[in-house]
Amino acid sequence: MKKIISIIAASAMVAGLASCEQKPNTLSSAEKAEGWQLLFDGETLNGWRSFNAPELLGGWSVVDGCIQASGEGGDASGYIVTDKKYSNFELVWDWKLTYAGNSGMLYHVVEHPKFSVPYVTGPEYQLIDSEGWEEKYAPAKLADWQNIGVDYAMHLPDYEKMHINPVGEWNSSKIVYDNGHVEHWLNGEKIVEFEAYTDDWFARKASGKWGNATEYGLAHEGVICLQDHGDPASFRNIKIKELPEKRAGQQVELFNGKDTKGWELFGSMKVSVDAEGNLVTENGDDKKYGYLGTREYYKDFDLTVEFKQESNGNSGLFFHSFVEGGYQNNIVNGWQCEVAPKNCDTGGIYESYGRGWLVQIPEEKENILKVGEWNTLRLRVEGNKVQTWLNGEAMIEIEDELIGSKTGRIMLQIHDGNDIKVLWKNFKLTKL
């Protein structure tokens, strides 16, 4: 493990002096003008609640103008989150730990009963007294990816730039997430910088701790989370400035006509690309459900794709979806735009492992599906509104708050059963 410098360095002193010039948990006129907002008012925990809960369940309090973790939490508990979700932002905060203390700041955390802990979805800025931890738990050693300031289990910091004030004294940190560009700062120095969702990023995800955490880091928005990992920790001056979305109107190539790069396979379906450049999905050997999902999440979008059903065409175009468990699982939570045989509601919307059918198509529109021929399906999701078209004909339109509150993968389904085969081509997605 790299040695961490735990001294009051000049840069840290400057950061500390700057912090002292302004009353904690306040915004200056300049900060207000720049769009900064407080996430902690210095007196209450308003705006915070327990992870996956509608209220604050305990373990956190306000002490002397600081949010304080009691140290009673653990790996599977002790997390509080913001009420609001955030996408692109600069987030700053002051923190101090106790001897051998372990905590963290997470972002883009997705809440769902199937996610028992925040870190299986949200990236973490690690906060830990590295030297104290190794002293206390000797001969155990921290891996580099567990150390102070890291993008946990993903990206290491520049140790030469790390200057940390002693345990019990305040340090200042910052996370920048700007449309996939990520930075970690510590006491005025940038210590980590990377681009999310690149081939390198996915390779790191696949090869390390998150190799079977299918949904780790994929969300482009989510709640911000503070961690109680069993050690007291204090936080103050938590401020955020939201940054503009730069991807609206972006055209995304979901399928390149050559291979399945950008997609991930779940369950037991067979996937190939034929000589004409069509994406072929069909039953696996066990004839059970299978899914091919984008490796990124999409929230608001307009997607057009062509499909042709061969033999039994029982399939579906899923959206705002995620997979339970690892890559061998085939349980998908989310919503399905139905792709099915004649008279089975192609273009309708079904909620998987939830409310079931939200809307089926009118009976008189069942003849729009062209059996054994290419069909054009359009799915538009914007906020709470979902619309579908089949071969240029409007099929359904619904408003649903639950859909609007979620994000997730786009996925192609092969239903369980025999001789199911569907071909796909000409994916065209525009981010809204």
Residue 111, pLDDT above cutoff 60 = yes
Residue 7, pLDDT above cutoff 50 = no
**153 φ, ψ to 5°?**
65, 20
Q: Which residues pair with 280 in a beta bridge?
A: 272, 423
Q: In what order do the strands lie in the sheet with 222-228?
A: 48-50, 79-86, 222-228, 102-109, 124-128
**175 φ, ψ to 5°?**
-115, 130
Percent of the chain whose pLDDT exceeds 90: 86
User: For residue 288, what pLDDT is reported?
Assistant: 87
Q: Read off the pLDDT of residues 352-393 as tens digits, 9 standing for 90 and up.
A: 999 999 999 999 999 999 999 999 999 999 999 999 999 999
Taking the CB of residue 323, how many other CB atoms lie within 10 A of it? 24
Give the residue-averaged pLDDT of 77-93: 97
User: For residue 147, what pLDDT is reported?
Assistant: 95
224 pLDDT band, cuts 50/70/90, is very high
C-alpha to C-alpha distance for 350 and 336, rounded to whole angstroms: 5
Please provide the average confidence, as pLDDT, over all residues in the chain. Answer: 93
The answer to whether 420 touches 282, Cβ cutoff 8 Å, is yes
Residue 173, pLDDT above cutoff 50 = yes
Give the residue-averaged pLDDT of 50-59: 95
User: For residue 4, what pLDDT is reported?
Assistant: 54
426 pLDDT band, cuts 50/70/90, is very high
Residue 165, pLDDT above cutoff 70 = yes
All domains in the chain, ordered by first residue: 10-242 (2.60.120.560), 251-431 (2.60.120.560)
C-alpha to C-alpha distance for 161 and 423, rounded to whole angstroms: 52
Residue 17, pLDDT above cutoff 80 = no
Q: 0.85 cut: is pTM over it?
A: yes
Q: Read off the pLDDT of residues 389-411 as tens digits, 9 standing for 90 and up.
A: 999 999 999 999 999 999 999 99
C-alpha to C-alpha distance for 171 and 148, rounded to whole angstroms: 12
